[in-house]
Amino acid sequence: MDAQKLTYFLAAAHTQNFRKAAELCYVAQPVLSRQIAALEQELGVELFTRQSRRVSLTPAGTAFIAHARDILERMQTARQSMASRRDQAGGVLNVGCIEPLSDTLLPPAFALFQQRFPAARVNVTVSGTEELFGLVEAGKLELGLFGLAPERLRSQPFLVVHELYRDRLALLVAADHPLARAERPVGVEQLFVERLALLNQRFAMRRILERIFAQHSRELNPVLNIDNVATLKLIVQHGGVSTVLPQSLLSPAERQSGMAALPIHDLPDIFTFALVYRREATLSAVAEGFITAVTESVAIARPG
């Protein structure tokens, strides 16, 4: 029983479709089907009931999910234990990071990390959540620092999501906005009357807003689409438009300039910032050290 077969099984259990599972695992469908059949033969039970276009878990398959996850986690723990015995003085780490965290969390975390791993080299790719998510899933990035919408947290069978902190959504407005002085929570209805400047579809924030507007039978039609958070905030600061972002992304300096982050009290969506890596991957000692540095930096910046 190897990790590859277990990963294929979990993919098929998650999708209930061998073709979709093969796409998630970046293999041809016949390869995945053969590996699952070999696993069933090894276990002596049928894990799936095959139908014409889809598959469904048998009772044995449903029971085996927890065992498969536990085995993969134990294998990862063993690999990490052995990796920690390697020379920790050097190595190359490939990290993905969304832009807001590259401006806020990444600098202090890297400063702490390099004190402990002075010979290590870190390559950072700054991009949108969806692109980085795909790179981590494909194994091209060892770690990702993301902002995740609620639906991304509910089911990630192939990834470990290490939550850093949670944040509520807020309407960001300039100093001359009528709501800026009060700094009181606003309702979701306020979004429908605002001239919105928004991040484009590369960002998880945009998909959250598209879903919110659709739930209220409203059309999301921003006056500006952009792929840079820093520039978006500058545009809002100059007045005439507002935006929606996690409220922690408005810095103390920006607040002192008169900008305000008004929590949207009737939105249940919680934006989660997290470290993400492949469940079956063997994390290097350098990667473990980077995770520790990020976690400690969050604890310092956001105590309690």
Residues 109, 17, single domain; the answer is no
- Please tell me whether residue 89 adopts helix, strand or coil conformation: coil
Please report, for the domain that includes residue 15, its CATH number.
Answer: 1.10.10.10
Cβ distance 261 to 177 under 8 Å?
A: no
pTM score above 0.75: no
Q: Which of 33, 55, 83 is the last residue of a domain?
A: 83
Q: For residue 153, is pLDDT > 70?
A: no
Number of neighbouring beta carbons within 10 Å of residue 70: 11
Residues 70, 139, single domain; the answer is no
d(CA 77, CA 56): 30
How confident is residue 156, by pLDDT bands cut at 50, 70 and 90?
low
Cβ distance 252 to 113 under 8 Å?
A: no
Q: Which of 48, 83, 118 is the last residue of a domain?
A: 83
What are the C-alpha distances in Å from 211 to residues 206, 219, 263?
9, 10, 18
Q: Which residues pair with 156 in a beta bridge?
A: none
How is residue 148 written in tokens?
Answer: 């995740």
Please report, for the domain that includes residue 163, its CATH number.
Answer: 3.40.190.290
Residues 139, 231, single domain; the answer is yes
Residues 70, 99, single domain; the answer is no
Q: For residue 110, is pLDDT > 80?
A: yes
pLDDT in tens, 23-59: 888 889 999 999 999 999 999 999 999 887 789 999 9
Number of domains in the chain: 2
Q: For residue 298, is pLDDT > 70?
A: yes
Find which of 115-119, 152-156, 206-210, 233-237 is predicted with most confidence, using mean pLDDT: 233-237
- Measured torsion, CA atoms of residues 242, 268, 152, 277, in degrees rounded to the nearest 10: 90
How confident is residue 280, by pLDDT bands cut at 50, 70 and 90?
confident
Average of per-residue pLDDT across 234-262: 89
What is the Cβ-side half-sphere exposure of residue 12, based on CA atoms within 13 angstroms?
A: 34
Percent of the chain exceeding pLDDT 70 equals 93
Residues 67, 184, single domain; the answer is no
User: What pLDDT was estimated at residue 65?
Assistant: 93
Helix boundaries (H) for the chain = 3-15, 18-25, 29-43, 59-83, 99-103, 106-116, 129-137, 150-154, 204-215, 229-237, 252-256, 285-301
| Range of lowest pLDDT (179-183, 211-215, 235-239, 294-298) | 179-183
Q: For residue 297, is pLDDT > 60?
A: yes
Residues 110, 61, single domain; the answer is no
Burial of 180 (0-12, 13-18, 19+ CB in 10 A): middle
Residues 60, 126, single domain; the answer is no
pLDDT in tens, 83-105: 655 545 468 899 999 988 888 89
Q: For residue 79, is pLDDT > 90?
A: no
Residues 115, 64, single domain; the answer is no
Residues 273, 138, single domain; the answer is yes
User: What pLDDT was estimated at residue 49?
Assistant: 94
How confident is residue 201, by pLDDT bands cut at 50, 70 and 90?
confident
- What is the average pLDDT score of the chain? 87
Interstrand relation of 159-173 and 260-263 (parallel, antiparallel or unpaired): antiparallel
Q: For residue 81, is pLDDT > 70?
A: no
Residues 129, 52, single domain; the answer is no
Residues 242, 295, single domain; the answer is yes
User: What pLDDT was estimated at residue 220?
Assistant: 94
Amino acid (one-letter) located at 252: P
Parent domain of 261: 89-304
Residues 225, 79, single domain; the answer is no
Q: Which of 23, 58, 83 is the last residue of a domain?
A: 83
What is the Cβ-side half-sphere exposure of residue 238, based on CA atoms within 13 angstroms?
A: 6
